[in-house]
Chains A and B, each alone.
Chain A
Amino acid sequence: MIETSATRLLGQVFLLLLALVAQLVYAQPREELLLWHGYRGEERRALEQLLEDYNRNQPDARVKALAVPFGSFADKLSAALPRGQGPDLFIFGHDRIGGWARAGNTVAPVDDLVPARVLARFPPSLVEAMRFEGRLYGLPFNFKSTALIYNRALVRHAPETTDELLALARARTDRRRGRFGLAYSYTEPFFHGALLNSFGSGPFDADGRLALDSPGNVRSLEQLARWVREEGILPEEPNSTLVTNLFNQGRAAMVISGPWLLGEISEGIDYAVAPLPQNSESGRPLAPWVAVEGLFLSPWSGRQQAALGLMNYLTGERAALHMAMAGGQLPANLNAYTHPEVARDANTMAFRRQLETAVPIPNLPQMTLLWKPLEKALNKVVKGSASPAGELQRLQREIRRDVANLQAAGDRAGRPRSIPAWAWLGLALLALAALSPALRRRRRIAAAWREHRTAYVYILPAMLGMLLLVFFPLLYGFLLSFTDTTLLNENTPFLSRWQGLGNYASILGDWNFWYGEGAGRSINYDNFYWTLLVTICWTAGNVVLSVGLALVLALALDKPILGRTWFRLLLILPWAIPNYITALVWKGMFHPQFGVVNQALQVVGLAPVAWFDSVGASFMTGLVTNVWLSIPFMMVVILGGLQSIPRDLYEAARVEGAGRWCQFRAITLPLLKPVLVPAIILSVVWTFNMFNVIYLVSDGAPAGANDILITKAFRIGFEKYQYAYAAAYSMVILALLFAYAMWQMRVSRTLEAAR
């Protein structure tokens, strides 16, 4: 009685929840105009004020804005838009236009809808940035580029040429005291754009073909390498936090950064912004990349006219002024800069002047594939482990191959294929295999259902969750791994992407262990078997060290020493800190110039180590971090195991004359086995797939040599955008872990039987 009413209640609650969810999903009144953006802080406030103003004056069109977290913005757009969902309008960087246009159904061309007088508001370069293959895909809203920001206490006048800049930077550099003439994230391709573009070349030639190894590009890398390696005016291992900190501490005279830095500069620093100087080597100005935030229209929007009205309003002079003054933005509508209040702001105007030489980031789809490999190449070159020309030639080959892969997949997309007969047969067999035991036991299943109905109802939510969050993605990934899905063809029919076992063949059949020939030969760090070897060393090293150290600590803390409780607390503490924070802390500590590890080495008279430059040292950084992270858990488990060993066994052994070591070997170790074995199994699985530590600490440096399988899979999926290949990679990882688990279970079962 109670059971049925409880069941009924549960059912009702469930229905209610479903209804609520449905309400949330479908209750979007269609007369509203939905705008997605990724703004935060004052930019967001400024935008929302504008929209309020718009709503007040346009009673027939209501605009609703949704601030999407920036990290997931791109994924949300490419997931929602091709399926006819998502916003009417969205604000995003222009560099994705090519990819969207190729994929189709993501963004609507607007060249027929926008009158020329509206386009006249913007400088031609920004309008050009919104064009792809001859069509206009949106209106420029704001733009962001880097410029030179300098500390006026250290630099009186902004340098006019790079020679001046170098002379100035040399004078302001004192490496021993951690002072630098210039600081910027020079290994990030976005920042290197300034040097790259000053040679007039860029990553693509005039016809949009990949031209990474052009002489201009090589010269830009040579110049950067000189600045870093010979002049020594730049700090090592730069990143935006380091640059900000150096500038705020007055230890960097000049930095190259964008308007986003201005909000983070300390009050005590008297700074100014200037356009980047002329490059004395090329005779042209340093030309930074400019990213244009555009207003884009969804092809599915049912209210195009209203949306166009809003685009017109937001790019108008009034809105541009508001974005500039309240939002601290650089509006694309140049009329804003003629307003006296804006014109008075020297910093804004400096960024405005920088626009004259800045180059929009190419919006070709291939560009998305370039960022990470280019960053790796820059890293190698500034560390001297590759020559600019050689590295760019290698990169050119690699990217061309990747692009060709993507293109091939994209070209095939048009031709739907029939599924091979064996696939149908296999599916049917699988379904039969899954169903037949259920059919055979249908009586028992029905009986079990009748008897334990409440229990089944209780586990239903968890089961549904598992189905949705674990099994479905697993199955989807499995199916995906047999296709050739990439960024460019992910929206085509699934069957047209089917290619069978090709991904697996190319992963497992990758025998290219080496790059180059003869003396120039080096290990191919992208090879699956190299990565597997690194993963195995990584797992084994971690498990041995963390279990060993945890055992030693647990043995020490098992004794009734003074302050035992405090020691235990201290040793468990690292566990309470999220592991990515710990990882970032360790990364900072391993910084070759400012990290505490190298400073400690120098205090004791040892030479500092360039931690991320060699395979071994870089491996150590991850190892140390992960051992640090895993010791607390291991120690707690082992302590528990130690406490369950009866004391009188040790007493018996002592009476029989066993010493400490003998007691440890004969009693402690064998009796710890029941807790050690599962702990080791868990530790192996966790370490094998420990993404955070590798990604955040060494990031696979140098050149991906220290990537483990899981980070490699991530890079293939989200840096090379070869989704299906990444899925196959993940399946291989899953298979490896599965095989390991089976083996481990068999071993522990035989151990169990021996007891």
Chain B
Amino acid sequence: MARIEFRRVVKQYPDSPPTVPGLDLSVRDGEFMVLVGPSGCGKSTTLRMIAGLESVTAGELWIGDRLVNRVPPGERDVAMVFQNYALYPHMTVFENMAFGLRVRREPQAQIRTKVERAAETLGLTGLLGRRPGQLSGGQCQRVALGRAMVRDPQVFLFDEPLSNLDAELRVQMRGNIGRLHREFATTSVYVTHDQVEAMTLGQRIAILNGGELMQVGTPMELYGDPDNVFVAGFMGSPPMNIVAVQNLGRALRNAVLEVPLAGLEGLPGELLLGLRPEKLEYAAAAPAHWPRLRAAIEMVETLGAEMLVHLGEGDTRMVARLPGLRPLAAGETIELAFDPRAAYLFDADSQRRIRLSQPVESAEPAL
């Protein structure tokens, strides 16, 4: 029973604007929640408030059925994995993992069993006698995980735990963490700035920007149905193309494209159109009724099976993810097409998503 609940939580340091101006968020029991956002967005502060390392300026923070605003970190029954591992350099791996249990004065034998079991799960059995200085980064990270695990806490907190590892290890550790969560199903809150990590690990993701919660949802909800330009631009790699368009009443137009759409009446004259790079296709192979766009190629990034084609025309910049079959060169002009149903509309001022009352229909039904 450990859900985490933020109720209008404010965090403000003296003589500065609030870092977190008022957060409402709830993490369900057993859920793996990822807090993601650019640096300075308040995600780490939020996590540290759960741990009790930062005080709550106003509002209520609940863990399980307890209001924990004034509960010291050690009594919150949470475990935390730090970005720099925060392993005690003068203790062996065993001692590091056993530290929290010893503080709680658990019986020696029990400590030994718990640590050895965790070590086995994490493949650390051979390393129990070493000191952190003798371990690689990945091993240190596993020790830090193990130290959190042995405590069997109500909540796991991860503060960018993988940012100091190289790419390959990161993928491996991501797998480890995901597997452990499936196994133990402990409520977890995971902070990262990497949207790939967020997508792959999170059952739900909370996107923060400037201390404000932008959107909470499953990875696919955020990807498929973003609430605003920020979320749309944050999720997906490469990110969604957002281009400025003019509302002509029955169609949207800018220098490179024109999209006939119904239901545009009453909307402002300037709008933002969002198109995912992977939704752009070669015009030649696309249904005839899909809108077209023509633009010059600025650069081609070849990734093997596919390529990222950077287009530019006037102020408009777009990226298309195309199958890597045809040789394309910078300077050529290319014609692409897209399914108008895959386009997103945003208000240019508020950056909010505009959901048309009628679903976007093409003139002819799709095949």
Known contacts A656-B151, A662-B103, A666-B99; A651/B74 CB under 8 A: no
- Select which of B72, B89, B90, B131 is within 8 A of A654 by beta carbon: B72
A648 to B, closest residue via Cβ: B86
- Select which of A651, A666, A667 is within 8 A of B82 by beta carbon: A651
Query: From residue B74, how far is it (CB to closest CB) to chain A in Å?
Result: 3
In the assembled complex, A263 has its CB within 8 A of some CB on chain B: no
Query: From residue B361, how far is it (CB to closest CB) to chain A in Å?
Result: 54
Decide: B88 and A667 in contact? CB cutoff 8 A.
Answer: yes
B89 to A, closest residue via Cβ: A671
Query: From residue A418, how far is it (CB to closest CB) to chain B in Å?
Result: 61
CA distance A670 to B53 in the complex (A): 23
- B69-98 interface mask toward A, CB cutoff 8 Å, 1 = contact, 0 = none? 000111100111011101011100000000
Decide: A655 and B89 in contact? CB cutoff 8 A.
Answer: no
Known contacts A646-B86, A671-B90; A656/B131 CB under 8 A: no
Decide: B89 and A657 in contact? CB cutoff 8 A.
Answer: no
Chain A, 668-691, CB within 8 A of any chain B CB: 670-671, 673
CA distance A644 to B80 in the complex (A): 22
- Select which of B75, B83, B88, B90 is within 8 A of A657 by beta carbon: B75
Decide: B74 and A656 in contact? CB cutoff 8 A.
Answer: yes
Decide: B53 and A654 in contact? CB cutoff 8 A.
Answer: yes
Decide: A666 and B88 in contact? CB cutoff 8 A.
Answer: yes
B159 to A, closest residue via Cβ: A648
Decide: B86 and A651 in contact? CB cutoff 8 A.
Answer: yes
In the assembled complex, A156 has its CB within 8 A of some CB on chain B: no
CA distance A649 to B88 in the complex (A): 7
Query: From residue B63, how far is it (CB to closest CB) to chain A in Å?
Result: 13
A663 to B, closest residue via Cβ: B103
Query: From residue B140, how far is it (CB to closest CB) to chain A in Å?
Result: 13
Query: From residue B43, how far is it (CB to closest CB) to chain A in Å?
Result: 17
In the assembled complex, B233 has its CB within 8 A of some CB on chain A: no
B86 to chain A: which residues have CB within 8 Å? 646, 648-649, 651-652
A443 to chain B: which residues have CB within 8 Å? none
In the assembled complex, B52 has its CB within 8 A of some CB on chain A: yes
A653 to B, closest residue via Cβ: B99
Decide: B103 and A654 in contact? CB cutoff 8 A.
Answer: no
Give the interface size class of chain B. 20 to 34
- B296-311 interface mask toward A, CB cutoff 8 Å, 1 = contact, 0 = none? 0000000000000000
CA distance A658 to B102 in the complex (A): 9
Chain B, 42-86, CB within 8 A of any chain A CB: 51-53, 72-75, 78-80, 82-84, 86
Q: Interface size on A (CB < 8 Å)? A: 19
Decide: A755 and B131 in contact? CB cutoff 8 A.
Answer: yes
In the assembled complex, B331 has its CB within 8 A of some CB on chain A: no
Pair count A-B, CB < 8 A: 63
A653 to chain B: which residues have CB within 8 Å? 88, 99, 103
Chain A, 732-755, CB within 8 A of any chain B CB: 755
Decide: B82 and A652 in contact? CB cutoff 8 A.
Answer: yes
Decide: B84 and A646 in contact? CB cutoff 8 A.
Answer: yes
B40 to chain A: which residues have CB within 8 Å? none
Decide: B51 and A655 in contact? CB cutoff 8 A.
Answer: yes
CA distance A670 to B78 in the complex (A): 26
Decide: A651 and B90 in contact? CB cutoff 8 A.
Answer: no
B151 to A, closest residue via Cβ: A656
A662 to chain B: which residues have CB within 8 Å? 103
CA distance A655 to B80 in the complex (A): 7
CA distance A655 to B78 in the complex (A): 7
Scoring A646, A656, A657, A671 by chain B CB atoms within 10 A of each residue's CB, the highest score goes to A656
Scoring A651, A652, A656, A755 by chain B CB atoms within 10 A of each residue's CB, the highest score goes to A652
Decide: A655 and B74 in contact? CB cutoff 8 A.
Answer: yes
- Select which of A649, A651, A656 is within 8 A of B103 by beta carbon: A656
CA distance A652 to B157 in the complex (A): 11
Decide: B51 and A648 in contact? CB cutoff 8 A.
Answer: no
Chain A, 619-662, CB within 8 A of any chain B CB: 646, 648-649, 651-659, 662
In the assembled complex, B104 has its CB within 8 A of some CB on chain A: yes
CA distance A671 to B103 in the complex (A): 18
A673 to chain B: which residues have CB within 8 Å? 90
A651 to chain B: which residues have CB within 8 Å? 51, 53, 73, 80, 82, 86
CA distance A659 to B74 in the complex (A): 8
In the assembled complex, B287 has its CB within 8 A of some CB on chain A: no
A654 to B, closest residue via Cβ: B73
A670 to B, closest residue via Cβ: B90
In the assembled complex, B138 has its CB within 8 A of some CB on chain A: no
CA distance A656 to B72 in the complex (A): 11
In the assembled complex, B133 has its CB within 8 A of some CB on chain A: yes
B52 to chain A: which residues have CB within 8 Å? 654-655
CA distance A662 to B75 in the complex (A): 15
Query: From residue A665, how far is it (CB to closest CB) to chain B in Å?
Result: 11
Query: From residue B172, how far is it (CB to closest CB) to chain A in Å?
Result: 23
- Select which of A648, A656, A667, A670 is within 8 A of B100 by beta carbon: A656
B51 to chain A: which residues have CB within 8 Å? 651, 655
Decide: A648 and B82 in contact? CB cutoff 8 A.
Answer: yes
A666 to chain B: which residues have CB within 8 Å? 88, 99
B84 to A, closest residue via Cβ: A648
- Select which of A646, A655, A667 is within 8 A of B53 by beta carbon: A655
CA distance A229 to B52 in the complex (A): 69
CA distance A352 to B252 in the complex (A): 123
Query: From residue A384, how far is it (CB to closest CB) to chain B in Å?
Result: 56
CA distance A115 to B88 in the complex (A): 90
A755 to chain B: which residues have CB within 8 Å? 90, 131, 133
Decide: A655 and B73 in contact? CB cutoff 8 A.
Answer: yes
- Select which of B74, B79, B151 is within 8 A of A658 by beta carbon: B74
Query: From residue A587, how far is it (CB to closest CB) to chain B in Å?
Result: 44
B99 to chain A: which residues have CB within 8 Å? 653, 656, 658, 666
B76 to A, closest residue via Cβ: A655
CA distance A651 to B50 in the complex (A): 13
B48 to A, closest residue via Cβ: A651
B72 to chain A: which residues have CB within 8 Å? 654
Known contacts A671-B90, A755-B131; A657/B84 CB under 8 A: no
A648 to chain B: which residues have CB within 8 Å? 82-84, 86
A649 to B, closest residue via Cβ: B86
B83 to chain A: which residues have CB within 8 Å? 648
CA distance A181 to B72 in the complex (A): 69
CA distance A648 to B51 in the complex (A): 13
B90 to A, closest residue via Cβ: A670
Decide: A654 and B74 in contact? CB cutoff 8 A.
Answer: yes
Query: From residue B284, how far is it (CB to closest CB) to chain A in Å?
Result: 57
Known contacts A648-B82, A649-B88, A670-B90; A657/B133 CB under 8 A: no
Decide: A658 and B90 in contact? CB cutoff 8 A.
Answer: no
Decide: B103 and A657 in contact? CB cutoff 8 A.
Answer: yes
A667 to B, closest residue via Cβ: B88
B100 to chain A: which residues have CB within 8 Å? 656-657
A670 to chain B: which residues have CB within 8 Å? 90
Query: From residue A751, how far is it (CB to closest CB) to chain B in Å?
Result: 10
Scoring B79, B90, B133 by chain A CB atoms within 10 A of each residue's CB, the highest score goes to B90
B72 to A, closest residue via Cβ: A654
Chain A, 440-499, CB within 8 A of any chain B CB: none
B147 to chain A: which residues have CB within 8 Å? 652, 656
Chain A, 34-64, CB within 8 A of any chain B CB: none
CA distance A649 to B96 in the complex (A): 11
Query: From residue B168, how far is it (CB to closest CB) to chain A in Å?
Result: 25
B80 to A, closest residue via Cβ: A655
Interface residues of B (CB under 8 A from A): 51-53, 72-75, 78-80, 82-84, 86, 88-90, 99-100, 103-104, 131, 133, 147, 151
Q: A654-B73, A667-B88 are in contact. List 7 more A-B contacts (CB 8 A).
A: A649-B86, A649-B88, A651-B73, A651-B80, A651-B82, A657-B73, A755-B133
**CB<8 Å pairs between A and B, sample of 15:** A646-B84, A648-B86, A649-B86, A653-B88, A654-B52, A656-B74, A656-B147, A656-B151, A657-B73, A657-B103, A658-B99, A666-B99, A755-B90, A755-B131, A755-B133
Interface residues of A (CB under 8 A from B): 646, 648-649, 651-659, 662, 666-667, 670-671, 673, 755
The 6 closest A-B pairs by CB, nearest first: A657-B74, A656-B100, A648-B86, A652-B86, A670-B90, A654-B73
